[in-house]
Amino acid sequence: MNPERIDEIINKHHAEPSALIQVLLEIQGENHWLPKEALEQVSQKLEVPLTRTMHIASFYKAFSLVPKGRHEVHVCMGTACHVRGAKRVLETVEDLTGIKPGETDMEMKFSLETVNCLGCCALGPVIEINGKTHGNVSVSDTADVLESYE
């Protein structure tokens, strides 16, 4: 992400230190992760110590300090999804993408994570991609779901 764009985001929030989380969320939203250079620039412009900025960026799960793919795939492994075959769905996603939970593919297309619950237990097993919920996903549906994200 270029420094000019980061400055635009910061200026949009009037360089207010209280806007730190919102600024980081917007950078994360556009860039899919928070590079160290971006964190340094935000800290300097908002006059927030880098240690505080790093603490915020590493504390909240919404932020990533490592590059993520364009599509963030979350497979629910909660009880309701688990008993309906989430483990097999996860294995299928791993096979199709070539990555394990916590990894990003080489093309930066997909990042894979497991979650304990997405809050839609009646729809299990559930895959969430970029915030969109796909419910009642079977092993045979998994490829179609992933292919819809180019």
pLDDT at 40 over 90: yes
The two domains 3-59 and 71-147 share their CATH topology (first three levels equal): no
Contact 128, 118 (CB under 8 A): yes
Could you name the CATH architecture of 3-59? Orthogonal Bundle (1.10)
Encoding tokens for residue 84? 């309906």
Confidence of residue 144 (pLDDT cuts 50, 70, 90): very high
Contact 124, 80 (CB under 8 A): yes
Contact 79, 87 (CB under 8 A): no
CA distance 74 to 52: 28
**What does the angle CA 88 – CA 117 – CA 22 come to, to the nearest 5 degrees?**
125
In sequence order, which residues have a C-beta less than 8 Å from that of residue 97 and are 6 or more positions away? 73, 105, 109, 110, 112, 146
pLDDT digits (tens, 9 = 90+) for 54-91: 999 999 888 999 899 999 999 999 999 999 999 999 99
Res 116: pLDDT: 93
The residues that bridge with 148 in the sheet, in sequence order, are none
The residues that bridge with 71 in the sheet, in sequence order, are 110
Across 38-48, average pLDDT:
97
- For 128: left if phi > 0, alpha if psi spans -120 to 50, otherwise beta; the answer is beta
- For the chain, the straight-line distance linking the first and the last C-alpha, in angstroms and rounded, comes to 21
**Domain 71-147 CATH superfamily:** Glutaredoxin (3.40.30.10)
pTM (whole model) above 0.85:
no
Domain residue ranges in the chain: 3-59, 71-147
